[in-house]
Protein backbone atom coordinates (compact mmCIF):
# COMPACT_ATOMS: atom_id res chain seq x y z
CA UNK A 1 0.00 0.00 0.00
CA UNK A 2 1.41 3.39 -0.95
CA UNK A 3 1.54 6.06 1.72
CA UNK A 4 -0.08 9.43 1.11
CA UNK A 5 2.30 12.35 1.35
CA UNK A 6 1.22 14.75 4.12
CA UNK A 7 0.27 18.18 2.83
CA UNK A 8 0.36 21.65 4.33
CA UNK A 9 -2.63 23.93 4.53
CA UNK A 10 -3.99 25.04 1.17
CA UNK A 11 -2.12 28.05 -0.20
CA UNK A 12 -3.95 31.34 0.24
CA UNK A 13 -5.26 32.59 -3.09
CA UNK A 14 -3.88 35.97 -4.14
CA UNK A 15 -3.54 38.16 -7.17
CA UNK A 16 -0.17 37.91 -8.90
CA UNK A 17 2.55 40.47 -9.54
CA UNK A 18 5.58 40.07 -11.76
CA UNK A 19 8.96 41.05 -10.37
CA UNK A 20 10.84 41.01 -13.63
CA UNK A 21 10.38 37.46 -14.88
CA UNK A 22 9.56 36.08 -11.41
CA UNK A 23 5.83 35.67 -10.64
CA UNK A 24 4.88 36.35 -7.01
CA UNK A 25 1.53 35.13 -5.72
CA UNK A 26 -1.34 33.73 -7.72
CA UNK A 27 -0.18 30.17 -7.13
CA UNK A 28 3.40 30.75 -8.33
CA UNK A 29 6.22 28.93 -6.51
CA UNK A 30 7.24 30.75 -3.36
CA UNK A 31 10.33 32.80 -4.16
CA UNK A 32 13.43 33.44 -2.06
CA UNK A 33 14.81 36.94 -1.59
CA UNK A 34 17.88 38.44 0.03
CA UNK A 35 19.59 41.82 0.09
CA UNK A 36 23.08 42.94 -0.80
CA UNK A 37 25.29 44.43 1.90
CA UNK A 38 27.66 46.20 -0.49
CA UNK A 39 27.54 49.86 -1.40
CA UNK A 40 25.36 49.88 -4.51
CA UNK A 41 27.72 52.40 -6.11
CA UNK A 42 30.32 49.61 -6.04
CA UNK A 43 29.06 48.00 -9.24
CA UNK A 44 31.49 45.08 -9.45
CA UNK A 45 31.29 44.27 -5.75
CA UNK A 46 27.52 44.39 -5.77
CA UNK A 47 27.28 42.23 -8.88
CA UNK A 48 29.62 39.67 -7.33
CA UNK A 49 27.35 39.44 -4.30
CA UNK A 50 24.21 39.21 -6.45
CA UNK A 51 25.71 36.29 -8.35
CA UNK A 52 26.66 34.60 -5.07
CA UNK A 53 23.09 35.03 -3.82
CA UNK A 54 21.73 33.65 -7.07
CA UNK A 55 24.00 30.63 -6.73
CA UNK A 56 22.72 30.05 -3.19
CA UNK A 57 19.08 30.00 -4.30
CA UNK A 58 17.88 33.63 -4.36
CA UNK A 59 15.22 34.36 -6.97
CA UNK A 60 15.05 38.12 -6.26
CA UNK A 61 17.66 40.44 -4.75
CA UNK A 62 17.17 43.83 -3.11
CA UNK A 63 19.74 46.64 -3.24
CA UNK A 64 19.70 49.90 -1.34
CA UNK A 65 19.09 53.09 -3.28
CA UNK A 66 19.92 55.81 -0.79
CA UNK A 67 21.89 58.28 -2.88
CA UNK A 68 22.47 59.38 -6.47
CA UNK A 69 25.60 57.24 -6.77
CA UNK A 70 23.59 54.18 -5.75
CA UNK A 71 20.97 54.88 -8.42
CA UNK A 72 23.68 55.30 -11.03
CA UNK A 73 25.19 52.03 -9.87
CA UNK A 74 21.82 50.32 -10.28
CA UNK A 75 21.62 51.54 -13.87
CA UNK A 76 24.81 49.57 -14.56
CA UNK A 77 23.92 46.56 -12.39
CA UNK A 78 20.36 45.91 -13.61
CA UNK A 79 21.25 44.73 -17.15
CA UNK A 80 24.02 42.46 -15.81
CA UNK A 81 22.11 40.87 -12.95
CA UNK A 82 21.01 37.21 -13.19
CA UNK A 83 17.91 37.97 -11.08
CA UNK A 84 15.36 40.80 -10.87
CA UNK A 85 16.42 43.63 -8.57
CA UNK A 86 14.33 45.49 -6.00
CA UNK A 87 15.38 49.01 -4.97
CA UNK A 88 15.13 49.68 -1.24
CA UNK A 89 14.01 53.28 -0.73
CA UNK A 90 13.80 55.24 2.53
CA UNK A 91 12.86 58.88 3.12
CA UNK A 92 13.67 60.40 -0.28
CA UNK A 93 11.10 60.32 -3.07
CA UNK A 94 13.83 61.33 -5.53
CA UNK A 95 15.59 58.01 -4.91
CA UNK A 96 12.43 56.04 -5.74
CA UNK A 97 12.08 57.90 -9.03
CA UNK A 98 15.78 57.51 -9.77
CA UNK A 99 15.57 53.75 -9.14
CA UNK A 100 12.74 53.52 -11.65
CA UNK A 101 14.90 55.37 -14.16
CA UNK A 102 17.66 52.81 -13.45
CA UNK A 103 15.34 50.04 -14.60
CA UNK A 104 14.73 48.09 -11.39
CA UNK A 105 12.06 45.39 -11.40
CA UNK A 106 10.41 46.49 -8.15
CA UNK A 107 10.48 49.15 -5.44
CA UNK A 108 10.27 48.64 -1.71
CA UNK A 109 8.75 51.58 0.17
CA UNK A 110 8.53 51.86 3.96
CA UNK A 111 5.31 53.74 4.87
CA UNK A 112 6.89 54.80 8.14
CA UNK A 113 9.67 56.65 6.34
CA UNK A 114 8.14 57.98 3.13
CA UNK A 115 5.08 59.73 4.60
CA UNK A 116 3.87 62.57 2.38
CA UNK A 117 0.72 61.41 0.53
CA UNK A 118 1.53 63.44 -2.60
CA UNK A 119 4.99 61.83 -2.83
CA UNK A 120 3.62 58.33 -2.28
CA UNK A 121 1.06 58.82 -5.03
CA UNK A 122 3.69 60.31 -7.35
CA UNK A 123 5.86 57.20 -7.02
CA UNK A 124 2.87 54.89 -7.42
CA UNK A 125 1.77 56.67 -10.60
CA UNK A 126 5.25 56.49 -12.04
CA UNK A 127 5.51 52.78 -11.18
CA UNK A 128 2.07 52.19 -12.69
CA UNK A 129 3.08 53.77 -15.97
CA UNK A 130 6.24 51.67 -16.12
CA UNK A 131 4.58 48.39 -15.05
CA UNK A 132 6.81 48.10 -12.00
CA UNK A 133 5.37 46.60 -8.79
CA UNK A 134 5.90 48.03 -5.32
CA UNK A 135 6.32 46.22 -2.03
CA UNK A 136 4.74 48.02 0.88
CA UNK A 137 7.33 47.23 3.53
CA UNK A 138 5.79 47.88 6.94
CA UNK A 139 8.21 47.50 9.83
CA UNK A 140 7.28 47.40 13.51
CA UNK A 141 10.37 49.45 14.30
CA UNK A 142 9.47 52.36 12.02
CA UNK A 143 5.73 52.85 12.20
CA UNK A 144 4.25 56.31 11.77
CA UNK A 145 4.16 58.04 15.19
CA UNK A 146 0.39 58.50 14.90
CA UNK A 147 -0.07 54.72 14.75
CA UNK A 148 2.16 54.19 17.79
CA UNK A 149 0.03 56.68 19.66
CA UNK A 150 -3.28 55.25 18.45
CA UNK A 151 -2.47 51.63 19.38
CA UNK A 152 -0.06 52.19 22.24
CA UNK A 153 2.84 50.62 20.39
CA UNK A 154 3.55 48.25 17.55
CA UNK A 155 0.59 45.89 17.44
CA UNK A 156 -0.76 43.67 14.66
CA UNK A 157 -3.56 46.18 14.17
CA UNK A 158 -1.07 49.03 13.80
CA UNK A 159 1.02 47.17 11.21
CA UNK A 160 -2.01 46.18 9.17
CA UNK A 161 -3.47 49.69 9.27
CA UNK A 162 -0.16 51.10 8.03
CA UNK A 163 -0.21 48.76 5.04
CA UNK A 164 -3.86 49.48 4.22
CA UNK A 165 -3.32 53.24 4.44
CA UNK A 166 -0.55 52.93 1.83
CA UNK A 167 -2.83 50.79 -0.33
CA UNK A 168 -5.44 53.53 -0.18
CA UNK A 169 -2.96 56.10 -1.53
CA UNK A 170 -2.06 53.70 -4.35
CA UNK A 171 -5.74 53.15 -5.16
CA UNK A 172 -6.20 56.90 -5.67
CA UNK A 173 -3.92 56.72 -8.70
CA UNK A 174 -5.17 53.33 -9.91
CA UNK A 175 -2.10 51.35 -8.86
CA UNK A 176 -2.68 47.77 -7.68
CA UNK A 177 0.54 45.97 -8.60
CA UNK A 178 1.48 45.48 -4.96
CA UNK A 179 2.94 42.96 -2.55
CA UNK A 180 3.04 43.61 1.18
CA UNK A 181 5.12 42.78 4.24
CA UNK A 182 4.34 43.50 7.89
CA UNK A 183 7.59 42.55 9.57
CA UNK A 184 8.57 42.59 13.23
CA UNK A 185 11.50 41.24 15.21
CA UNK A 186 9.04 39.76 17.71
CA UNK A 187 7.94 36.43 16.23
CA UNK A 188 4.43 36.18 17.76
CA UNK A 189 3.74 39.77 16.70
CA UNK A 190 4.91 39.07 13.18
CA UNK A 191 2.76 35.94 12.90
CA UNK A 192 -0.33 37.70 14.24
CA UNK A 193 0.12 40.66 11.88
CA UNK A 194 0.43 38.48 8.77
CA UNK A 195 -2.57 36.36 9.78
CA UNK A 196 -4.65 39.51 10.21
CA UNK A 197 -3.48 41.03 6.93
CA UNK A 198 -4.12 37.78 5.04
CA UNK A 199 -7.78 37.98 6.03
CA UNK A 200 -8.20 41.55 4.78
CA UNK A 201 -6.37 41.79 1.45
CA UNK A 202 -5.74 39.55 -1.55
CA UNK A 203 -2.28 40.91 -2.37
CA UNK A 204 0.72 38.56 -2.28
CA UNK A 205 2.63 38.66 1.00
CA UNK A 206 6.38 38.88 1.53
CA UNK A 207 7.30 37.08 4.77
CA UNK A 208 10.14 37.91 7.13
CA UNK A 209 11.18 38.34 10.74
CA UNK A 210 13.06 41.62 10.63
CA UNK A 211 16.36 42.01 12.46
CA UNK A 212 16.36 38.33 13.42
CA UNK A 213 20.03 38.60 14.42
CA UNK A 214 23.03 36.32 13.85
CA UNK A 215 22.79 32.54 13.52
CA UNK A 216 21.93 30.23 15.12
CA UNK A 217 19.34 32.25 17.09
CA UNK A 218 18.46 34.34 14.05
CA UNK A 219 17.83 31.22 11.99
CA UNK A 220 15.58 29.82 14.69
CA UNK A 221 13.52 33.02 14.99
CA UNK A 222 13.15 33.48 11.25
CA UNK A 223 12.22 29.85 10.70
CA UNK A 224 9.70 29.94 13.55
CA UNK A 225 7.90 32.91 12.03
CA UNK A 226 8.19 32.17 8.32
CA UNK A 227 7.71 28.41 8.66
CA UNK A 228 4.59 28.77 10.80
CA UNK A 229 2.90 30.99 8.23
CA UNK A 230 3.96 28.91 5.24
CA UNK A 231 2.54 25.81 6.92
CA UNK A 232 -0.76 27.69 7.22
CA UNK A 233 -0.73 28.52 3.49
CA UNK A 234 0.23 32.17 4.03
CA UNK A 235 3.13 33.71 2.13
CA UNK A 236 4.30 34.11 -1.46
CA UNK A 237 7.92 35.22 -1.15
CA UNK A 238 10.31 35.11 1.81
CA UNK A 239 13.49 36.63 3.20
CA UNK A 240 15.62 35.63 6.17
CA UNK A 241 16.99 38.83 7.76
CA UNK A 242 20.21 37.60 9.37
CA UNK A 243 23.20 39.40 10.77
CA UNK A 244 25.47 37.33 8.56
CA UNK A 245 26.69 36.92 5.01
CA UNK A 246 23.52 37.35 2.92
CA UNK A 247 24.38 34.11 1.13
CA UNK A 248 23.31 32.39 4.36
CA UNK A 249 19.92 34.10 4.03
CA UNK A 250 19.37 32.79 0.52
CA UNK A 251 20.54 29.31 1.42
CA UNK A 252 18.32 29.17 4.51
CA UNK A 253 15.28 30.38 2.58
CA UNK A 254 15.78 27.77 -0.11
CA UNK A 255 16.34 25.00 2.43
CA UNK A 256 13.17 25.94 4.32
CA UNK A 257 11.05 25.78 1.18
CA UNK A 258 12.57 22.45 0.22
CA UNK A 259 12.04 21.07 3.72
CA UNK A 260 8.36 22.03 3.56
CA UNK A 261 8.01 20.55 0.09
CA UNK A 262 7.21 23.96 -1.39
CA UNK A 263 10.12 23.99 -3.84
CA UNK A 264 11.83 21.19 -5.70
CA UNK A 265 15.14 20.23 -4.14
CA UNK A 266 17.96 22.13 -5.80
CA UNK A 267 20.85 21.25 -3.52
CA UNK A 268 21.92 18.86 -0.79
CA UNK A 269 19.65 17.80 2.06
CA UNK A 270 21.79 15.90 4.54
CA UNK A 271 20.03 14.05 7.33
CA UNK A 272 21.86 12.31 10.16
CA UNK A 273 20.95 10.47 13.34
CA UNK A 274 21.86 12.16 16.65
CA UNK A 275 24.06 9.15 17.54
CA UNK A 276 23.61 6.75 20.44
CA UNK A 277 25.42 4.04 22.35
CA UNK A 278 25.15 1.65 19.39
CA UNK A 279 27.22 3.91 17.11
CA UNK A 280 30.50 2.38 16.03
CA UNK A 281 31.90 5.58 14.50
CA UNK A 282 32.04 9.29 15.23
CA UNK A 283 28.68 10.11 13.64
CA UNK A 284 29.08 13.85 14.10
CA UNK A 285 32.51 13.83 12.50
CA UNK A 286 31.39 11.69 9.56
CA UNK A 287 28.27 13.82 9.03
CA UNK A 288 30.26 17.06 9.08
CA UNK A 289 32.84 15.67 6.65
CA UNK A 290 30.10 14.43 4.33
CA UNK A 291 28.28 17.78 4.53
CA UNK A 292 31.41 19.69 3.59
CA UNK A 293 32.32 17.38 0.71
CA UNK A 294 28.81 17.15 -0.73
CA UNK A 295 28.05 20.86 -0.29
CA UNK A 296 30.91 21.61 -2.65
CA UNK A 297 29.23 19.49 -5.33
CA UNK A 298 25.75 21.00 -4.78
CA UNK A 299 23.98 17.81 -5.80
CA UNK A 300 20.15 17.71 -5.58
CA UNK A 301 20.05 14.70 -3.26
CA UNK A 302 18.83 13.74 0.18
CA UNK A 303 21.74 11.95 1.84
CA UNK A 304 21.65 10.14 5.20
CA UNK A 305 24.50 9.47 7.63
CA UNK A 306 23.42 6.91 10.22
CA UNK A 307 25.39 5.77 13.25
CA UNK A 308 24.70 2.06 13.00
CA UNK A 309 23.28 -0.57 10.70
CA UNK A 310 20.69 -1.72 13.27
CA UNK A 311 18.04 0.78 12.22
CA UNK A 312 19.91 3.12 9.87
CA UNK A 313 18.90 1.89 6.40
CA UNK A 314 15.31 1.38 7.52
CA UNK A 315 14.91 4.71 9.28
CA UNK A 316 16.40 6.55 6.30
CA UNK A 317 14.80 4.45 3.56
CA UNK A 318 13.30 7.55 1.95
CA UNK A 319 16.73 9.11 1.46
CA UNK A 320 18.20 8.91 -2.03
CA UNK A 321 21.48 7.72 -0.62
CA UNK A 322 22.97 6.96 2.76
CA UNK A 323 25.61 5.18 4.76
CA UNK A 324 25.27 3.34 8.06
CA UNK A 325 28.16 2.29 10.25
CA UNK A 326 28.95 -1.28 11.20
CA UNK A 327 32.05 -2.54 12.98
CA UNK A 328 34.94 -0.85 11.18
CA UNK A 329 32.91 -0.60 7.98
CA UNK A 330 30.15 1.38 6.35
CA UNK A 331 27.01 0.05 4.66
CA UNK A 332 26.15 2.15 1.63
CA UNK A 333 22.45 2.14 0.80
CA UNK A 334 20.16 3.59 -1.85
CA UNK A 335 16.48 4.07 -0.96
CA UNK A 336 16.99 1.75 2.03
CA UNK A 337 18.66 -1.05 0.05
CA UNK A 338 22.27 -1.83 0.99
CA UNK A 339 24.32 -1.86 -2.21
CA UNK A 340 27.90 -1.99 -0.98
CA UNK A 341 30.01 -2.44 2.15
CA UNK A 342 33.08 -0.18 2.41
CA UNK A 343 35.95 0.26 4.90
CA UNK A 344 35.33 2.70 7.75
CA UNK A 345 38.11 5.04 6.65
CA UNK A 346 36.59 5.29 3.16
CA UNK A 347 32.99 5.99 4.23
CA UNK A 348 32.87 9.64 3.23
CA UNK A 349 34.85 9.19 0.01
CA UNK A 350 32.63 6.29 -1.08
CA UNK A 351 29.50 8.23 -0.18
CA UNK A 352 30.60 11.18 -2.30
CA UNK A 353 31.59 8.95 -5.22
CA UNK A 354 28.24 7.15 -5.13
CA UNK A 355 26.38 10.49 -4.94
CA UNK A 356 28.01 11.64 -8.17
CA UNK A 357 27.18 8.34 -9.89
CA UNK A 358 23.60 8.47 -8.63
CA UNK A 359 23.01 11.92 -10.13
CA UNK A 360 24.63 10.91 -13.41
CA UNK A 361 23.16 7.41 -13.85
CA UNK A 362 19.92 7.43 -11.85
CA UNK A 363 18.57 5.37 -8.96
CA UNK A 364 17.54 2.28 -10.93
CA UNK A 365 20.94 1.94 -12.58
CA UNK A 366 22.77 2.24 -9.27
CA UNK A 367 20.48 -0.28 -7.59
CA UNK A 368 21.19 -2.67 -10.45
CA UNK A 369 24.92 -2.21 -9.79
CA UNK A 370 24.61 -3.37 -6.16
CA UNK A 371 27.28 -5.80 -5.00
CA UNK A 372 26.15 -9.34 -4.35
CA UNK A 373 26.06 -10.23 -0.69
CA UNK A 374 25.96 -6.61 0.53
CA UNK A 375 22.54 -6.96 2.13
CA UNK A 376 23.42 -10.28 3.74
CA UNK A 377 26.58 -8.79 5.22
CA UNK A 378 24.62 -5.83 6.56
CA UNK A 379 22.11 -8.17 8.19
CA UNK A 380 24.93 -10.17 9.80
CA UNK A 381 26.46 -6.97 11.18
CA UNK A 382 23.04 -5.87 12.41
CA UNK A 383 22.54 -9.09 14.34
CA UNK A 384 26.04 -8.94 15.78
CA UNK A 385 25.47 -5.40 17.04
CA UNK A 386 22.18 -6.37 18.61
CA UNK A 387 23.85 -9.24 20.44
CA UNK A 388 26.70 -7.00 21.64
CA UNK A 389 24.47 -4.14 22.77
CA UNK A 390 21.51 -6.18 23.99
CA UNK A 391 18.53 -7.11 21.89
CA UNK A 392 16.14 -5.35 24.25
CA UNK A 393 18.18 -2.62 25.89
CA UNK A 394 15.03 -0.56 26.40
CA UNK A 395 13.16 -3.50 27.99
CA UNK A 396 10.46 -3.03 25.37
CA UNK A 397 9.37 -6.68 25.32
CA UNK A 398 9.17 -6.73 29.11
CA UNK A 399 7.02 -3.61 29.00
CA UNK A 400 4.77 -5.07 26.30
CA UNK A 401 4.16 -8.16 28.41
CA UNK A 402 3.32 -6.00 31.42
CA UNK A 403 0.82 -4.05 29.30
CA UNK A 404 -0.80 -7.26 28.13
CA UNK A 405 -1.12 -8.51 31.71
CA UNK A 406 -2.61 -5.20 32.76
CA UNK A 407 -5.11 -5.06 29.90
CA UNK A 408 -5.92 -8.75 30.02
CA UNK A 409 -6.46 -8.66 33.77
CA UNK A 410 -8.79 -5.64 33.74
Domains along the sequence of the chain with CATH: 16-259 (3.20.20.20), 269-389 (3.30.413.10)
Residue 178 has pLDDT above 80, yes or no: yes
Those residues with Cβ within 8 angstroms of residue 41's Cβ, 6 or more apart along the chain or in another chain: 67, 69, 70, 72, 73
Q: Which of 77-86, 178-187, 321-330 has the lowest mean pLDDT?
A: 321-330
Report the mean per-residue pLDDT for the chain.
90
Residue 149 has pLDDT above 70, yes or no: yes
Measured CA to CA, the distance from residue 246 to residue 55 in angstroms comes to 12
Residue 312 has pLDDT above 70, yes or no: no
Confidence bin at 204 (pLDDT 50/70/90): very high
Q: Which pLDDT score, from 0 to 100, does residue 60 have?
A: 98
Q: What integer is the mean pLDDT of 115-132?
A: 96
Task: Give the model confidence (pLDDT) of 218-230 as tens digits.
Answer: 999 999 999 999 9
pLDDT above 70 covers a percentage of the chain that reads 92
Question: Which value, in Å, is the radius of gyration of the alpha carbons in the chain?
Answer: 26
Q: Which pLDDT score, from 0 to 100, does residue 34 have?
A: 97
Task: Report the range out of 22-36, 330-344, 345-359, 367-381 with the highest average pLDDT.
Answer: 22-36
* Model confidence, pTM: 0.83
Angle, alpha carbons 213-39-19 (nearest 5°):
80
Contact between residue 254 and residue 287 where contact means Cβ atoms under 8 Å apart: no
Q: CA nearest 60: which of 94, 25, 27?
A: 25
Q: Which pLDDT score, from 0 to 100, does residue 279 have?
A: 59
Q: Which pLDDT score, from 0 to 100, does residue 225 have?
A: 98
Residue 199 has pLDDT above 70, yes or no: yes
Confidence bin at 372 (pLDDT 50/70/90): confident
Q: CA nearest 278: which of 241, 309, 316, 315?
A: 309
Residue 406 has pLDDT above 60, yes or no: yes
Phi/psi at 185 (5° precision): -80, -15
Task: Give the model confidence (pLDDT) of 229-261 as tens digits.
Answer: 999 999 999 999 999 999 999 999 999 999 999
What is the SS3 assignment for 403?
helix
Measured CA to CA, the distance from residue 348 to residue 358 in angstroms comes to 15
Q: Which pLDDT score, from 0 to 100, does residue 106 have?
A: 98
Task: Give the model confidence (pLDDT) of 375-401 as tens digits.
Answer: 888 778 777 766 665 545 456 667 778
Sheet architecture: strand order including 206-207: 178-183, 134-139, 106-109, 85-89, 60-64, 31-35, 237-239, 206-207
Measured CA to CA, the distance from residue 350 to residue 144 in angstroms comes to 59
Contact between residue 300 and residue 269 where contact means Cβ atoms under 8 Å apart: no
Contact between residue 193 and residue 229 where contact means Cβ atoms under 8 Å apart: no
Contact between residue 321 and residue 358 where contact means Cβ atoms under 8 Å apart: yes
Q: Which pLDDT score, from 0 to 100, does residue 1 have?
A: 34
Q: What integer is the mean pLDDT of 67-93?
A: 95
Task: Report the range out of 158-172, 271-285, 339-353 with the highest average pLDDT.
Answer: 158-172
DSSP annotation of 140 reads G
Q: CA nearest 203: which of 233, 184, 176?
A: 176
Burial class of residue 199 in the structure, from the number of CB atoms within 10 Å of its CB (0-12 exposed, 13-18 middle, 19+ buried): exposed
Measured CA to CA, the distance from residue 38 to residue 288 in angstroms comes to 31
Confidence bin at 2 (pLDDT 50/70/90): very low
Q: Which pLDDT score, from 0 to 100, does residue 389 have?
A: 53
Amino acid sequence: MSRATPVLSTRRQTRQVMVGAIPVGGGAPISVQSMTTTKTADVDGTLAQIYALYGAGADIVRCTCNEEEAAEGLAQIVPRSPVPLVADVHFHVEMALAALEAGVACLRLNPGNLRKPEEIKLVAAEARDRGVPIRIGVNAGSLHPDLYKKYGGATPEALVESAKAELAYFAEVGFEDVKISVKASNVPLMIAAYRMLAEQVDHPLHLGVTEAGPPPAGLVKATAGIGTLLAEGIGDTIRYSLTADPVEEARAGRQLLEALGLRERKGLDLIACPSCGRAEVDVIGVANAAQEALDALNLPLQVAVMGCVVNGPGEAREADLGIAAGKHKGHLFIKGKVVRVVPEEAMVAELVAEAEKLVKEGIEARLAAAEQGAEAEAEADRRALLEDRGVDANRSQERIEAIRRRVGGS
